[in-house]
Amino acid sequence: MADTLVLITALAARPFRAQNEISIWQQIADRIEAACLDGRLGSMDRLPGENHMAEAFGVTRVTIRRALTQLQHKGLLQARKGVGVFVRPVPLKYSVDHGKHFADGIEGGAVIGTRTISLIRNVANGDEAKALSIEIGAPVIRLLRTRLVNDATVYSSDKVFPGRLFQAFETEYALRESVRDVYLAHGVADYRRVETRVSGGFALPQEAEALGLTLHTPVLRSVAINTAADGTPIEFNRGTWPLTAVELVLKNQE
- Residue 252's pLDDT is 54
- Residue 94's pLDDT is 60
- Residue 216's pLDDT is 84
Q: Which of the following CATH numbers is that of domain 92-250: 3.40.1410.10, 2.40.160.20, 3.50.50.60, 3.40.50.12160?
A: 3.40.1410.10
Handedness of CA 65, 67, 73, 76 (dihedral sign): negative
- Residue 157's pLDDT is 96
Render each residue's pLDDT in the chain as its tens digit; 254 residues. Answer: 448 999 999 999 999 999 888 999 999 999 999 999 888 998 889 999 999 999 999 999 999 999 999 998 887 888 877 788 988 876 666 665 555 555 555 555 677 889 999 999 999 999 999 999 999 999 999 999 999 887 778 899 999 999 999 999 999 999 999 999 999 999 999 999 898 899 999 999 999 889 888 788 888 999 999 999 999 999 999 999 888 777 667 665 55
User: Is the domain defined by 2-87 classed in CATH 1.10.579.10?
Assistant: no
CA dist list (Å): 213 to 104, 144, 156, 203, 207: 25, 17, 12, 8, 8
Specify the 3-state DSSP secondary structure of 247: strand
Domain positions in the chain: 2-87, 92-250
pTM above 0.85, yes or no: no
Instruction: Report how far residue 149's alpha carbon sits from residue 110's, in angstroms, rounded to the nearest whole number.
Output: 6
Q: Nearest Cα to 159, choosing from 128, 137, 190, 203? A: 128
Residue 104 makes CB contacts below 8 A (sequence gap 6+) with 95, 97
Classify burial at 244, counting beta carbons within 10 Å of its beta carbon; exposed 0-12, middle 13-18, buried 19 or more. middle
- Residue 27's pLDDT is 96
- Residue 82's pLDDT is 76
- Residue 106's pLDDT is 58
Instruction: Report how far residue 82's alpha carbon sits from residue 73's, in angstroms, rounded to the nearest whole number.
Output: 19
